[in-house]
Amino acid sequence: MPGVVGTPLERVDGRAKVTGAATYTADHRFPDLAHAVLVTSAIAQGRVASVDAAAAEAVPGVLAVLTHENSPRLRGRLGRDADDNHAIQALQDAAVRYADQPVAVVVAETLEQAREGARRLVLVYEATDVQIAFDPVRGRSFRPRHAGYAKPDTARGGARTALERSPVRLEHVYTTPRQTPNSMEPHATIAMWEGDGARQLTLYDATQGLFDCRRRVAKIFGLRESAVRVISPYLGGGFGSKGPVWSHVIIAALAAKHVGRPVKLVLERLQMFGPVGWRGRTRQEVALGAERDGTLNAIQHHTLGETSTYDAFMEACGLASRMLYASRTSATTHRLVRSTIATPSYARAPGWAPGTFALECAMDELAWALAMDPVELRLRNHAEMDPDSGHPWSSKHLRECYRIGASRFGWHRRAPQPGSWREHGWRIGWGMATSVYPTHRSDASALARLHDDGTLVVETGSQDLGTGTYTILTQIAADALGTSAGRVVVRIGDTHLPESPMSGGSQTAASAGSAVHEAVCALRAELTRLAIGDPASPLHQVPAESACVEDGRIFDSRVFGKGESFESLLTRQGRESVEKRADSAPGSETKRYAMYAFGAQFAEVRVDPELGVVRVSRMVGVFDIGRALNARTARSQLLGGMVWGIGLALTEDTVIDGRLGRCVTANLADYHVPVEADVPDLDVSWIGAPDERANPVGAKGLGELGITGAPAAIANAVFHATGRRVRDLPITLDKLL
670 pLDDT more than 70: yes
The answer to the question of residue 2 being in a domain is: no
CA 589 to CA 96: how far, in whole Å? 47
User: Alpha-carbon distance 188 to 24, whole Å?
Assistant: 9
CA 293 to chain CA centroid, nearest Å? 38
Residues 408 and 287 placed together within one structural domain of the fold: yes
**Does residue 202 share a domain with residue 347?**
no
**Over 70: is that where the pLDDT of 354 sits?**
yes
pLDDT of residue 133: 76
Task: Please tell me the total number of residues recorded for the chain in this structure.
Answer: 737
Q: Is the pTM of this model over 0.75?
A: yes
Q: Do 650 and 534 fall into the same domain? A: no
Q: Edge to edge, what strands does the sheet with 553-556 contain?
A: 547-550, 553-556, 563-565
Q: Are 613 and 536 part of one and the same domain?
A: no
Total number of domains constituting the chain: 3
Rg (CA), the chain: 27
Three-state SS sequence of 213-224: HHHHHHHHHCCC
78 and 156, same domain (yes or no): no
Same domain membership, residue 663 and residue 518? no
- Catalytic residue IDs: 704
> Which domain-ending residue is among 544, 564, 585?
585
Instruction: Kindly state the percentage of the chain with pLDDT values over 90.
Output: 96
CATH of the domain at 218: 3.30.365.10
Same domain, 371 and 252: no
d(C-alpha 6, C-alpha 472), whole Å: 9
Question: Do both 515 and 637 map to the same domain?
Answer: no
Q: Can you tell me the distance from the alpha carbon of 355 to that of 537, in angstroms, rounded to the nearest whole number?
A: 60
150 falls within a domain:
yes
Does the structure show a pLDDT above 60 at 419?
Answer: yes
Sheet of strand 456-459, all strands in order from the earlier edge strand to the far edge: 488-491, 456-459, 444-451, 577-584
* Residues ≥6 apart with Cβ < 8 Å to 498: 444, 445, 446, 447, 459, 460, 461, 515, 581
User: In the chain, what is the straight-line distance between the N-terminal and C-terminal CA atoms, in Å?
Assistant: 61
| 311 shares a domain with 162 | yes
Domain boundary among 566, 585, 604: 585
- Asked if the structure places residue 19 within a domain, the reply is no
Sequence-separated (6 or more) residues with CB below 8 Å from residue 563: 538, 539, 553, 554, 555, 556
Task: Give residue 732's pLDDT.
Answer: 97
Residues 312 and 408 in one domain: yes
Residue 646, H or E segment: helix 631-650
Tell me the pLDDT tens digit for each residue of 425-469: 999 999 999 999 999 999 999 999 999 999 999 999 999 999 999
Q: Quick one: pLDDT band at residue 195, thresholds 50, 70, 90?
A: confident
Report the DSSP beta bridge partners of residue 391: none
* Residue 575 structural domain: 442-585
Decide if 254 contacts 90 (C-beta within 8 A).
yes
75 C-beta neighbours (distance < 10 Å), count: 9
Is the distance from CB of 229 to CB of 214 less than 8 angstroms? Answer: yes
**Same domain (yes/no): 160, 287:** yes
Chain segment 487-521, per-residue pLDDT in tens = 999 999 999 999 999 999 999 999 999 999 999 99
DSSP symbols for 182-233: --SSPPEEEEEEESGGG-EEEEEE--S-HHHHHHHHHHHHT--GGGEEEE-S
Domain co-membership, 301 together with 433: yes
> How does the average pLDDT of the chain come out, rounded?
96
Neighbours of 714 (CB within 10 A): 29
Look at residues 585, 620, 654 and tell me which one is the last residue of a structural domain: 585
